[in-house]
Amino acid sequence: MTTSPLLPLTAADLPPLAPELVLIGSAFALMILDLFVSNRNKIVTHLFSLAALAVVLFMLATGVGGQGEVFHGMFVRDTAADVMKTGIVLLSGLTLVYGWRYLRDRNLFQGEIPVLILFGTAGMMILVSAGSLLMVYLGLELLALCSYALVASNRENGLASEAAMKYIVLGSLASGLLLYGMSLIYGATGSLHLDVIREAIPHSEERVLLITGAVFMIAGVAFKLGAAPFHMWLPDVYQGAPAPIALFISSAPKLAAFGMAYRLLEMGVGPLSTELQLLIAGLAAVSLVIGNLMAIAQSNLKRMLAFSTVSHIGFLLMGIAGGGSQGYAAALFYALAYAIMSTAAFGAIIALSRAGFEAENIEDFKGLNARNPWMAGLVLCIMASLAGIPPFLGFWTKLAVLGAAVNGGLLWLAILGVLCAVVGCFYYLRVIKVMYFDEPVGEAMPRSNDRVLGLVLGVNALALLALGLAWNPIMVWCQQAFAHLA
Amino acid sequence: MDWVNIAFWVFAIAATVSAGAVISVRNPVHAVLCLVLTFFSIACVWLLVGAEFLGVALVLVYVGAVMVLFLFVVMMLDIDPTKMREGWVRYLPVGLIVAVAMLVQMLILIGVKGRAVTPFPADNAAALAADSSNVTWLARTLFTEYLLPFEFAAVILTVAVVAAVMLTLRRRTGVKSQNPGEQTMVKAGQRLRMVKMGAEAPVVHSNSKPAAGEETQP
C-alpha cells in the first residue's frame, strides 16, 4: 500500500522542481537585498522580483527540468501542472506591474510585498503540483499566509484590517474543514498519496467515511475558490484590500484553487465522482444564482466584481461537475480566461485611481468616454468579456463549460447557467452604459502619465478580444493537459 | 481487561473530562490549567501505545508553550502585586489538583510499564519492523519520504516571521527607541566631547562654607 519509505533521494529528484527552487531562492535573496535598498530606490526590489518571475516563466514555458513524479510521489509535474503554473507566474508578474505605481503613490510599498507575492506564487505552484494530501495542505497554507498578510498590509485603513481579520478567521475555518476531510480519507485508505488513494477507493469498504471526507474537502476547495455558500469573505476582502492586492487574490489563486480541485477531486477521490457530481453541481448552481443576484445590487465596483467572481466560479464548477477530460479542460480554460479578465478589471480600477482617489464606485465611471475614450474602450472590452458577449474570450469559455455540463448529463445546470449569464449581462452592461451615455460628474480626473501601466492594461484588455478571435490554441493546450482522463 | 487497557481508560477519561472543563470553567486561569492536564493525559496515551517521541514532544512543546500562555493570561488580568498574591492562593487548589493528577498519571504509566508482559509497543508494527526506536524511524521518514513537505513547512514558518514583522514593525515619531545600527557605529568622538578650558581660580560658593570653615580651624 505505501511506497517504501527509506529509499534515498537522488539528484534526479531535483530537476522537475527547478522553477520552484529558483523562485523560492530568489524570494529569499530579494528579502536580504531589500535590506540594503533605501526607501527611495525601492524600484530595485520591484524590478528584481519581476526579473525572478520572468526567469521562472521562461523555465516553465521552455520546460526546463522536464516532467515527472519526484520525492516519492510528493511532487508531480505534468502538462496540467505546467499549464497552470505558466498562468500563475504570468498573472503574479502582472500583479507586480500593475501594483507598483499604486502602492508607491500611497506609501504602501514595502520590500516585503513583492517578497510575499513571490512566496505566495511558490505556494500556488506547489499546490497545483501536489502529489500528496500533505503537499496540498502545505501549498495552500503558504499561499493563504501570504494573502492574509498582504490584505492587512495597509495598516492605517480600518476596512483593510477588518477584511484581513475576516479572511484569517474564515480561512482557518476552511483549513480546518479541509484537514478534517483529509484525515477521514487517510483513515479510510491508509495513505496520504493521491495515487494510492485513487487505487484504494474502488475496493474500500468504508464508503461513508470516504464520502464524508470528500465532502469536507470539497467545502475547503469551495472556500478557496469563493463558491457560494462559502463566499462571505470575498466582497469584504476585495473592497478592503488595496486594489493591487485584490487583483492578486482574484486572479492567480483562483487558478491554483482549480488546480487543487483537480488534484483532490480527480487525482485523489476520482472514483467517487459519480457520487460527488450532484454536490459540485449544486455548489455551481448556488454560486451562479447568489453571485449574479447580489452583484446587481452593488454600487461599489470592487464588490460587484467580488460577486461576479462568485458567479464565474459557478461556471468553473460547472466544468468540474461535468467531469472527464472535456469537463476539466473546459474548467481550466475558464479559470485561465477568468484570471486574465479579473486582472484587467482590477487593472482598470488601478489605472483610473489617483493618490487620494479610488475609482471604485460605478458612479466614478460616469461619462468616462467623454473624458478618456481610449480608457473607456478598454473598460468596454473587459466588461463585455466578463459578460460573455460573443467575439470576446469570455463567450468561448462559457460555451466550453456549458458544453461540458451538457456532456456530463447536467442539462438543468447548463440551462440555469445560460439564464444566469443573461442576468449577469445586466450589471456589466450597466457599467458600459454609465461610461458612454451618462454625463460626467465632478471635476475631470487627471490623465495617467504612467506609460507602462497604460501599455500593459491596453495589451491585457485587447488580449481579451484577440484571444476571443483566436482561442483555439489555449483550448488545445488545456485539452492536452487532461488528455489522460477518460 | 489487562493493565494497559485500564490505564488507557484512566488517561482517556482524564483527557475528556479536563477538555470539557477547559471550555466550561469561567476562570481563564483554571481553563489553562485544565488544558495542561488535557495535553498531559493525551501524552500519556501516546506513551502507552509506544509513540514515545510524540508524547515527549507534546509535553515539551505544548505544555511548555501553554505555560507561557498561562503567564500571559495572569499578566494581562491584573498587574497589581497584592492582587497577584491573592490570585496565587486562589489558584493554588486547582493547580494542586492538576499537579496531583499528572503525578498519578505518571505513576500509572510507570506501573503499567513494569507489569506489561508483551513488548510494550504492542501494535506499533512499524517500529517493530524497522527494529529501531520510534525516534529513529520518525527521523528517517522525515528526511526521506517527507523531505519535501518538511522543507516547505520551513518556508511557511519563514513567511510567517516575515509577515509578522511586516505587520507589527512600524516607525512612529516621538517614541523613544534604540537603534542598534547607530549604536554600534558610534565613534569615540561622539561619546566624549573634549573641551579646552583655561585654568580657573577656585570660587567660593555659598554651599562650600563648611570647607572654608575647616581651613580656618587649625
Q: What is the mean pLDDT of residues A98-117?
A: 90
In-domain check, residue A215? no
* Residue A77 DSSP one-character state: E
Chain B stretch 160-189, residues whose beta carbon is closer than 8 A to a beta carbon of chain A: 160, 162-163, 165-167, 170
Say if the Cβ atoms of B152 and A72 lie within 8 Å. no
* Higher per-residue confidence, A304 vs A354: A304
pLDDT band for position B1 (cuts 50, 70, 90): low
Question: Which amino acid is present at A57?
Answer: L
Cell numbers given for B83: 492582587
Interface probe, candidates B131, B137, B138, B156, chain A, greatest A C-beta count within 10 A: B156
Chain A interface includes B84 (CB < 8 A): no
Q: Min CA distance, A139 vs chain B (Å)?
A: 8
Cα distance between residue A356 and residue A314, in whole Å: 35
- Helices assigned H by DSSP within A262-410: 273-296, 301-322, 324-352, 368-371, 373-387, 393-407
Cα distance between residue A22 and residue A30, in whole Å: 12
Q: Min CA distance, B100 vs chain A (Å)?
A: 34
Say if the Cβ atoms of B159 and A119 lie within 8 Å. yes
Q: What is the pLDDT of residue A421?
A: 93
Search chain A and give the residue with CA nearest B145: A5
Domain boundaries, chain B: 3-120, 124-169
Chain A interface includes B155 (CB < 8 A): yes
Q: Which residue from A222, A223, A191 is spatially nearest to A204, judged by alpha carbons? A: A191
* Higher per-residue confidence, B201 vs B19: B19
* Residue A450 DSSP one-character state: -
In-domain check, residue A334? yes
* Higher per-residue confidence, B216 vs A422: A422
Q: Which of A110, A122, A134 sits opposite B149 (nearest CB)?
A: A134
Q: Which of A132, A134, A141 sits opposite B156 (nearest CB)?
A: A141
Residues A130/A134/A137/A142 CA torsion (nearest 10 deg): -80
Task: For residue A402, give its domain range.
Answer: 271-441+450-485
Q: Min CA distance, B39 vs chain A (Å)?
A: 20
Q: Which chain B residues are Cβ-neighbours of A190 within 8 angstroms?
A: none
**Residue B153 above 90 pLDDT?**
yes
Say if the Cβ atoms of B155 and A142 lie within 8 Å. yes
pLDDT band for position A427 (cuts 50, 70, 90): very high
- Cβ atoms of residues A247 and A357 within 8 Å: no
Question: Which amino acid is present at A340?
Answer: I
Q: Which of A7, A132, A142 sits opposite B159 (nearest CB)?
A: A142
- Cβ atoms of residues A261 and A332 within 8 Å: no
Q: Which chain A residues are Cβ-neighbours of B159 within 8 angstroms?
A: 116, 119, 142, 145-146, 149
Chain A residues within 8 angstroms (CB to CB) of chain B: 3, 5-9, 24, 28, 31, 71-72, 74-75, 110, 112, 115-116, 119, 122, 126, 132, 134-135, 138-139, 141-142, 145-146, 148-149, 152-153, 155
In-domain check, residue A404? yes
Please state, as a whole number, how many other Cβ atoms lie within 10 Å of the Cβ of residue B105. Answer: 22
Measure CA of the first residue to CA of the last residue in chain B; give whole Å: 102
**Residue B206 above 80 pLDDT?**
no
Q: Which chain A residues are Cβ-neighbours of B140 within 8 angstroms?
A: 5-6
Interface probe, candidates B144, B159, B161, B169, chain A, greatest A C-beta count within 10 A: B159
* Residue A300 DSSP one-character state: B
For chain A, how many structural domains are there in total? 1
In-domain check, residue A386? yes
Q: Which of B141, B148, B170 sits opposite A75 (nearest CB)?
A: B148
Q: What is the pLDDT of residue A367?
A: 85
- The pLDDT tens digits for A31-83 are 999 989 888 888 899 999 999 999 999 999 998 888 888 888 899 999 999 99
Q: Which of A31, A74, A122 sits opposite B162 (nearest CB)?
A: A31
- The pLDDT tens digits for A310-334 are 999 999 999 999 988 999 999 999 9
Q: What is the pLDDT of residue B71?
A: 59
Q: Which CATH number fits domain B3-120: 3.30.56.10, 1.20.120.1200, 2.40.50.140, 1.10.10.10?
A: 1.20.120.1200
Q: What is the pLDDT of residue B215?
A: 47
Q: Which chain B residues are Cβ-neighbours of A126 within 8 angstroms?
A: 152
Q: What is the pLDDT of residue A25?
A: 96
Interface probe, candidates A1, A3, A4, A6, chain B, greatest B C-beta count within 10 A: A6
